[in-house]
A = this chain, B = another copy of it.
Amino acid sequence: MYAVIFKAEINKLDSRYSEVASQMRELATNKYGCTEFISVTEGAQEIAISYWQDQEQIKHWKQDSEHLVAQELGRSIWYKSYKVQILKILREYSTNA
By beta carbon, the residue of chain B nearest A43 is B40
Interface of A is mostly: strand
Contacts of A75 in B (CB 8 A): 95, 97
Determine how many copies of this chain the complex contains.
2
Say yes or no: A3 contacts B87, CB within 8 Å.
yes
| Interface pick from A18-26, A27-35, A76-84 | A76-84
By beta carbon, the residue of chain B nearest A11 is B97
Complex CA distance for A90 and B2, rounded to whole angstroms: 10
Contacts of A77 in B (CB 8 A): 97
Say yes or no: B49 contacts A40, CB within 8 Å.
no
Complex CA distance for A88 and B5, rounded to whole angstroms: 12
Complex CA distance for A5 and B86, rounded to whole angstroms: 13
